[in-house]
Structure 1
Amino acid sequence: MRILLVEDDHEIQSFVTDALLGAGYEVDAADDGQTASSLAAKRSYHGMIVDLGLPDLDGIDLILQLRHSGVRSPVLILSARRSVDERVRGLELGGDDYLTKPFAVAELLARMRNLLRRHSSVAEDPTRLHVGDLELDLLKRRATRAGDVLNLSPQEFALLEYLCRNAGKVVTRSMLLADVWGMRFQPDTNVVDVHIYRLRGKVDLPGRSPLIKTLRGIGYVVTAA
């Protein structure tokens, strides 16, 4: 599991990173909110640890930005702010748990394990698919990215659904022709290329991290990494 750690105190960042790595997690660390936002836009995280006293913006504002962009990873807030009002505010505005400084590493790891376990038990929804900030509602046959509805044709939705069900895996043109279009032979057709081109124009708009990637001569892959 991969964790995003957002902490500007390098000493705390270092020993928390070491503790997470020792517990078997993969860790990406950020010193400020802008770096954290950039990392979260490029890949999905199972959980995040966010300090509130960041140099460029308040940690609460960062959490709100991430939630608005579609990031649903559970967040453990790490802060020296100890008042009840501050803790309540953090939990009401997008945090899932709150740990005050100074803290015991053992407690941080226990809270992280609990968050991940709790989130995995409620977050798995067979009617929805997620890749980064892209979400597919399989019941309503609706796709959104960062909350914005994508105007897809039924065939484009079917193609995107297939790619998302195989997120992180390379799918070939032959696989798409067989499984999306039902073509059990390989005619001389560019139907896959045309639909991928149109789909990419709707999903990967300028300013957004591209999710649909082409591996020339091999196939396609959808990934937020």
Structure 2
Amino acid sequence: MMNAPDKHKLYPNEAIRTVCYIQNLPRRANVEIGDYTYYSDNTHSPELFYDHIQHHYEFLGDKLRIGKFCAIAEGVTFIMNGANHRMDGFTTYPFNIFGGGWEKVTPMVEQLPFKGDTVLGNDVWIGQQVTIMPGVTIGDGAIVASNSTVVKNVEPYTIVGGNPAKVIKKRFSEEIIQLLLELQWWNWDEEQIFEHLDTLVSAHDLETLKGLSSK
């Protein structure tokens, strides 16, 4: 009896070719993706996921870190630190990239704004056409509504939306959020997840949740 899809397959369900486990794409420098995280695209091949990571230059060193069991809808865009222009002058125009003598004002890396790594926690749901700006952290269990632009960190188990994205509401009470963060079900093995699937996909059995978190 199977108790989990094969996390090592690009297309765990061959009947659905619009959804793939992006951890199984060819590795890319400075991108880390957890088990069972998928990208869904009904317009283009989901195998083009990396095309949605923009201005990501290895020499800058910033990383895109995506946790386990994330659901990423089509059209997401990750803007990385390479998109930033120098901001300490009278103009932000990048003269140097056009050459013709203008390269004399090529900035040093440390003169460019650097926001750090972009991080998606575990069990994060990103809606369609979402833009995520450099250096943002989206906490475990968060939801980002379609067509949002995320410019600052999102707390765990929080729903945000809009441009710029703002808090809509918390998904659960603080008590339940704390239980889930302690539980870290995404780190369970496949058998344990299978055993407790019914509890995970509903939000009614609080006593079972408390019991699991106390083990």
Task: Determine if the TM-score, normalized by the shorter chain, exceeds 0.5.
Answer: no
Structure with larger RCO (C-alpha < 8 A, sep 6+): 1
Q: TM-score, normalised by structure 1?
A: 0.25
Between Structure 1 and Structure 2, the one with more helix by share is 1
